[in-house]
């Protein structure tokens, strides 16, 4: 009898932001998949979730290549999906950990599609995303009234970022660590720099709140960094 595959959002960093449903499933998981890149040691998602795991849970690190257009080169992903499928066919309950929410810019999305083709029994458990946690942390609304929100990956082409910034009342900029200086310049050009706030590693012990994106230019930035910006109303 095949086991179940669970995609579990563990939130942005604070282990207390994991949902009750997620903790229940984690406590019963036989195999826990901790995704990582080639360069990273360990897994932030695993560090967040580890206190909820049963003592004999098997931890499996899977490497996922993070490069532009990576979804067009599925060989490594297929091998990871094949390994997970084997665990499921052995009857294991398998949990795949992902930061934030599984269906928002997540590695899990591609694994989900591959396992769905294989007929796996899949359950996706939503998680608190980084920008919701940041808004709560700094005490500012993401949107209100009839505001329009754009969620923008900073890795998108500049013309797409420009269009999204021009049409939105509030914006969330994710994945800003690669080209932060360029993003800071764009926000200044659009009149949004003074009404932006960035948080790195939200909910983790080394969390950093940056109130001036302009002053943070030309300095190293952690990859878990997200910017909130809002048009018109200056952040207090």
For residue 83, the domain's CATH number is 3.40.1010.10
Check pLDDT > 70 for residue 75: no
Q: Are 100 and 127 in contact, with CB atoms under 8 Å apart?
A: yes
pLDDT digits (tens, 9 = 90+) for 197-236: 999 999 999 999 999 888 888 888 988 999 999 986 554 5
Here the tokens at position 23 are 């903790």
Regarding whether 138 and 208 lie in a shared domain, the answer is yes
On whether residue 235 sits in a domain, the answer given is: no
Of the three residues 125, 160, 176, the one that is the final residue of a domain is 125
Regarding whether 137 and 57 lie in a shared domain, the answer is no
Q: What is the pLDDT of residue 70?
A: 52
Share of the chain above pLDDT 90, in %: 78
Check pLDDT > 90 for residue 104: yes
Regarding whether 29 and 117 lie in a shared domain, the answer is yes
Q: What is the pLDDT of residue 4?
A: 97
Of the three residues 125, 145, 172, the one that is the final residue of a domain is 125
- Structural domain boundaries enclosing 25: 4-125
Check pLDDT > 60 for residue 156: yes
Check pLDDT > 70 for residue 38: no
On whether residue 236 sits in a domain, the answer given is: no
On whether residue 222 sits in a domain, the answer given is: yes
* Cα 206-207-209 angle, rounded to 5 deg: 140
- pTM summary value: 0.89
Phi, psi of 135 (to 5 degrees): -60, -40
3-state secondary structure the chain: CCCEEEEEECECCCHHHCCHHHHHHHHHCCEEEEEECCCCCCCHHHHHHHHHCCCCCEEEEEECCCCCCHHHCCHHHHHHHHHHHHHHHCCCCEEEEECECCCCCCCHHHHHHHHHHCCCEEEEECCCCHHHHHHHHHCCCCCCCCCCEEEEECCCCHHHHHHHHHHCCEEEEECCCCCHHHHHHHHHHCCCHHHEEEEECCCCCCCEEECCCCCCCCCCCCCCEEEEEECCCCCC
Regarding whether 121 and 8 lie in a shared domain, the answer is yes
Number of domains in the chain: 2
Of the three residues 99, 125, 151, the one that is the final residue of a domain is 125
Please give the average per-residue pLDDT across 55-65, as a whole number.
91
Regarding whether 149 and 40 lie in a shared domain, the answer is no
pLDDT digits (tens, 9 = 90+) for 166-200: 999 999 999 998 899 999 999 999 999 989 999 99
Quickly state the pLDDT bin for 63 (edges 50, 70, 90).
confident
Distance from C-alpha of 118 to C-alpha of 96, rounded to nearest angstrom: 16
Regarding whether 118 and 134 lie in a shared domain, the answer is no
Regarding whether 118 and 65 lie in a shared domain, the answer is yes
Please give the average per-residue pLDDT across 127-143, as a whole number.
95
């Amino acid at each position: 009898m095949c086991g179940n595959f669970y995609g579990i959002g563990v939130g942005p960093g604070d282990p207390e932001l994991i949902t009750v449903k997620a903790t229940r499933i984690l406590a019963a998981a036989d195999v826990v998949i901790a995704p990582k890149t080639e360069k990273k040691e360990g897994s932030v998602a695993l560090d967040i979730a580890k206190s909820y795991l049963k003592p004999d849970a098997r931890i499996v690190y899977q490497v996922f290549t993070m490069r532009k257009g990576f979804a067009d080169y599925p060989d490594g992903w297929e091998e990871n999906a094949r390994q997970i499928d084997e665990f499921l066919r052995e009857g294991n309950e398998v949990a795949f950990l992902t930061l934030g929410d599984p269906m928002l810019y997540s590695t899990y999305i591609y694994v989900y599609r591959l396992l769905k083709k294989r007929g796996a029994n899949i359950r996706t458990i939503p998680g608190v995303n980084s920008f919701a946690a940041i808004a709560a942390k700094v005490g500012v609304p993401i949107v209100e009234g009839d505001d329009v929100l754009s969620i923008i990956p900073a890795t998108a082409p500049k013309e797409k970022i420009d269009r999204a910034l021009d049409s939105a009342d509030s914006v969330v900029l994710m994945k800003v660590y690669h080209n932060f200086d360029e993003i800071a310049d764009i926000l200044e050009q659009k009149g949004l720099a003074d009404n932006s706030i960035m948080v790195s590693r939200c909910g983790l012990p080394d969390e950093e709140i940056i109130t001036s994106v302009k002053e943070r230019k030309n300095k190293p930035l952690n990859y878990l960094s997200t910017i909130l910006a809002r048009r018109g109303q200056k952040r207090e």
